[in-house]
Structure 1
């Protein structure tokens, strides 16, 4: 896990092997079981999680107890409540483990030290935040305006590697549609001989 994370950092920034040694003590790994909750609503999110193996999700729960999935994170993806992480605000989200997972987590101290070591790391982190904002804006637009079929097709395009690892109910929650609507969409796509 730690080696996978190190390779990710070294290949995406100009941090050298020697410089990474200064950060190693700030990187922690965990093996966690399916169903483990890593963050609860109203807690401060003091960690950002990097998925080496497995599948995590972030979600909210409404007053009726219904989940509304915000993000899935599979191998080489990050997941956190960014507002809580960066601004020390109580989290609006839960983060839990969908599949047994191996993760690495960092705290803000890692980011601060990495930014001191590498100007490129600042650019890398800023670009990652901008990509996250772009994805969220696209998602909001789809939730508000796209058809169920368009939402599902975009989901498959964006998350092809995890589509068949997820229960349909979770995909429906992420898309903001009912499981029944998703079943209808899938039947219609099958009728059109759509290839996943």
Structure 2
């Protein structure tokens, strides 16, 4: 497991000793999840942080009328969770669903807290990830209030080509905050 994709991902930001890798390996859970399965239901407490070894997921919110708004996607070598629920251990605002057969590593909330004590530099790794995620979301909000749908769609396709081939037009439309019909007219 020490040369698996998750450790290559961590290695981008911090170096781990063999002992530290062993500690992490001991608490990681690797699961194969079929397409269209929810690994988290909105309203549940999110107790896991997921790393995508293969496959893809989306995180979305469903309102009282059943309208889904896609908040984020995750593909191979990305991390995903409902950050609000995971950090605060409160009911999830999002559901997480596989878009295709996926292989996921999961890190339990309590195990991760223990790892932070044993491996302080792991906090640095996650701080870097969370900072990058915050910047990405800030730029997304700015795009939403200052760019046309055409621009936002073009930027999405250019920035995330690995996602556009895995998701439906309806899911892209919900991510962009428009109807599938409007997105279809934009694409023409």
Relative to the length of structure 2, the TM-score reads 0.92
- How far residue 18 of structure 1 moved from its aligned partner, in angstroms, is 2.2
Distance (whole Å) between structure 1 residues aligned to residue 113 and residue 15 of structure 2: 16
- CA contact under 8 A between 1:42 and 1:91: conserved in structure 2? yes
The equivalent residue for 2:126 is 125
Distance (whole Å) between structure 2 residues aligned to residue 110 and residue 139 of structure 1: 31
Relative to the length of structure 1, the TM-score reads 0.88
Residues 157-176 of structure 1: matches in 2 within 5 Å?
157-176=158-177
Distance (whole Å) between structure 1 residues aligned to residue 159 and residue 109 of structure 2: 28
- How far residue 11 of structure 1 moved from its aligned partner, in angstroms, is 4.2
Distance (whole Å) between structure 1 residues aligned to residue 128 and residue 158 of structure 2: 21
**SS of residue matched to 2:5:** helix
Distance (whole Å) between structure 1 residues aligned to residue 92 and residue 81 of structure 2: 10
- How far residue 26 of structure 1 moved from its aligned partner, in angstroms, is 0.6
Bigger shift: residues 169-178 or 15-24: 15-24
Verify: 1:72 aligned to 2:64, yes or no: no
The equivalent residue for 1:18 is 19
- How far residue 93 of structure 1 moved from its aligned partner, in angstroms, is 0.7
Bigger shift: residues 67-76 or 126-135: 126-135
Distance (whole Å) between structure 1 residues aligned to residue 9 and residue 111 of structure 2: 15
The equivalent residue for 1:107 is 108
Distance (whole Å) between structure 1 residues aligned to residue 106 and residue 98 of structure 2: 14
Q: Deviations over 1:18-74 (max 9, x none)?
A: 221122111000001111111111100000111011110100112221110000000
- CA contact under 8 A between 2:81 and 2:96: conserved in structure 1? yes
Distance (whole Å) between structure 2 residues aligned to residue 133 and residue 12 of structure 1: 17
- CA contact under 8 A between 2:99 and 2:166: conserved in structure 1? no
**SS of residue matched to 1:22:** helix
- Structure 1, unaligned runs of 5 or more: 188-196
Bigger shift: residues 56-65 or 139-148: 139-148
Distance (whole Å) between structure 1 residues aligned to residue 176 and residue 7 of structure 2: 33
The equivalent residue for 2:54 is 53
The equivalent residue for 1:152 is 153
Structure having the higher Rg: 1
- How far residue 81 of structure 1 moved from its aligned partner, in angstroms, is 0.6
**SS of residue matched to 2:143:** helix
The equivalent residue for 1:180 is 181
